[in-house]
Amino acid sequence: MIQNNAKLLMGPGPSNAHPRVLNAMSAPLVGHLDPDFLEIMADIKEMLQKAFQTQNQLTFAVSAPGSAGMETCLVNLLEPGDEALICVHGVFGNRMSDIVERCGARLKRVDAPWGEPIDPDQVKRALEECQPKLVAIVHAETSTGVLQPLEEISKLVKDSGALFVVDAVTSFCGVTLKVDEWGIDAVYSGSQKCLSAPPGLSPVSFSERAVEALNQRKTKVQSWFLDLSLVRNYWQGAQRTYHHTAPISSMFALKEALTLVMEEGLEPRFARHWESHELLKEGMESLGFEFLVREGFRLPMLNAIKLPEMIDDKSIRQRLLVEHRIEIGAGLGDFAGKVWRIGLMGENARPQAVDQFLSSLKQII
């Protein structure tokens, strides 16, 4: 349900928020240690556990966007001298690699061509050659539109004894993500994608193994603000300890967005994303466009579309935005000017959004 005067956000995020979410943001402010607000934090934690499909006690929302969730996982689990194996098949695997080096850890990489998933055999060979403390991978690579299968790689990581860290910024609440069943030790997401809440919060969850690794650290976490040994005392336990002033209004919005997810149900929500993807696929292919990613590895909520030579990337995107109030995403890195990234996230994964986009695109081209 998009407000009449709103632009239709069909890029890589943020997505449009439901009116109930926007209304929740306008509620009167309370203190960040107010008993009523602590109840809201408890509700958020419980719904995040259900959405992540986990029993992890250390599950909460970092008071910063998804990139801070990425840093939270890596800076807490890595110390100088640790070895980390990062699977890279797009922009965000490269970003994790950068953070690993900033932690003073030793970086090992497994790379796949952009637009392709990581091959489990590559991970297997890499694990035979090194003994990393953690292995990290992007579940939904927003820069390329690749949906990365996780179960086989998770088993390889578990057998190696390493921690398994997953970037679920774009996949969370859009496709199946089973944190406990898939043996994920640390996972992070963002509020602005398939959750359809305003940007600025990063849901995270840590397994008991990950918490044990945190407790056994010999050095301080390099970031005071993201240090879980401090933050977790604000989110759990009978005696909540002040750590920082939480973004109260954004938390109100997150709670309402999660409530909408729970009301809809995870499986119907996942099905809605796939159905919208199929509608977009049919429409784009009828216009002569091709998908970048091969069948079986495509994200339903972030569609990477190849641009024919006769298509002027910038001018069409600008006309969509100015004349039709529809935003779509440009390509990144090697794909700049060569692909569009069309988002169908959360509230926008609906036939009405697909029809509006296709109708506008047909008028332009």
- For 176-238, give the DSSP string: ---TTTTT-SEEE--TTSTT---SS-EEEEE-HHHHHHHHT-SS--S-STT-HHHHHHHHSSS
44 and 33 in a single domain? The answer is yes
Q: Are 243 and 233 in contact (CB under 8 A)?
A: yes
Q: Does some domain include residue 1?
A: no
Query: Is residue 80 reached through a cis peptide bond, with omega within 30 degrees of 0 on the bond before it?
Result: no
155 and 271 in a single domain? The answer is no
28 and 68 in a single domain? The answer is yes
257 and 279 in a single domain? The answer is no
49 and 187 in a single domain? The answer is yes
28 and 107 in a single domain? The answer is yes
The predicted model scores a pTM of: 0.95
Q: What is the pLDDT of residues 298-346, one digit of tens each?
A: 999 999 999 998 889 999 999 999 999 999 999 998 899 999 999 999 9
Q: Does some domain include residue 3?
A: no
Q: Does some domain include residue 351?
A: yes
Rounded CA-CA distance 213/199 in Å is: 30
69 and 193 in a single domain? The answer is yes
Phi, psi at 191, each rounded to 5° = -80, -15
Tell me, what CATH number does 226's domain have?
3.40.640.10
Chosen domain end from 262, 279, 302: 262
Q: What residue numbers bound the domain in which 348 lies?
A: 8-14+265-364
Consecutive sets of 10 residues in the chain, 365 residues long: mean pLDDT of each?
79 96 95 90 97 98 95 98 97 96 97 96 96 98 96 97 98 98 98 97 98 96 94 83 92 98 98 98 96 96 94 94 97 91 98 98 94
Q: What is the pLDDT of residues 24-34, one digit of tens each?
A: 999 999 998 88
160 and 60 in a single domain? The answer is yes
Q: What is the pLDDT of residues 51-76, one digit of tens each?
A: 999 999 999 999 999 999 999 999 99
Tell me, what CATH number does 336's domain have?
3.90.1150.10
In the chain, how many domains are there? 2
Q: What is the pLDDT of residue 236?
A: 81
133 and 248 in a single domain? The answer is yes
269 and 349 in a single domain? The answer is yes
330 and 246 in a single domain? The answer is no
